[in-house]
Structure 1
Amino acid sequence: MSWNEFALLFSGNFFNYMNLLLFVFLAIKTFWLNCPLLELYSICCIFLCGLAVLLFLVNGYLGMDKRHIVGSKVNLVSCNKATQKVLDWSGNRSSRYVCLANAHMIMEAYDSKKFWEILNAADLTLPDGMSLVGSLRILGVANQEQVCGRNLTLSLCEQAAKREIAVGFYGSSNKVLVFRS
């Protein structure tokens, strides 16, 4: 089992708060009864609780919430929150990148370690495909919306125009890049 698969086991719905509380309760109860046969079990429970908390913190749940789908990070944000985050980054003049992921990208990341590293290093990985939104719902994220690349781009352009933030596009032609409202 790889570290990534191990982290998935403890960061997804499988190891939720109820399981954590159950482990803590059983550990305390076992120590309180002072049963030597169960002492090792109690130590294991305490270790797993500590590990769960560590993975909870390492996976970034104190910052921006995310889930992993087939080992790839997907952030749980709406189009409006993603727009705000990108505009905040531009205000700080920090260099970042955002990936709009679909099922194909997730599977490419599964097959290619290099692509997986690039995808998981993104500052935001948003669910552009409905299959990812469906997967997130299976993982217990009921209110996640699809963040379409075109909608995010239009939202960013509208907000950037209001704030007088320059937006640059690379490639294509003037005919394609002309924006008409």
Structure 2
Amino acid sequence: MKDSYKKQLAEKLKIAKQKSQRNNIIRHLPLPLADVLKNRPYMTTPKLETILMGVNQKWGFALHTHEFIKKYPDNRIEVSWEKDVLQFVASTEPTHKHACLLTGFENSPLFIVERHWAVQHFQALWEGIGLKDLWLFDEELTFGLLICRYGGYIEHDPNPGEYFYAITYWGE
């Protein structure tokens, strides 16, 4: 009995942190974007974990590993510069379907947004969260765009800040 109570309590605490982080994220964004996200639905634990588990299952739990790079070279690129990330995102074909938006902040909830809106406002969203990781994907996992920042550099195009961006993408 005590274990189930502890589990419920831990889940409630996690949900509270995610709701609090939602407000924090909204405060980081420029006003027009903040107003949109403030009025959008969002998901927290346990639904959030279920969806993220689906993303990881899709890639055989290999996301963010060297194995992933070897196994799925057509679904990942690495770039050194923010402008390259922005150019790649701008080249995607956004639809008006709903998508989940996850930021790189710890305890981030999943915001439910129009994919077209997220791509159109990607630069302001990304800059608003300090160029942290930003994931955009649909719940059915037919589309995904995962932007992650790593320490290190790409040998042929080193960034003096010693970081690079990995873009994992799939679908439409």
| TM norm. shorter chain > 0.5 | no
* Larger relative contact order, structure 1 or 2 (CA cutoff 8 Å, min sep 6): 2
Relative to its length, the structure with more strand (as a share) is 2
Relative to its length, the structure with more helix (as a share) is 1
In our comparison, the structure showing a higher alpha carbon Rg is 1
Provide TM-score, normalisation by structure 1. Answer: 0.26
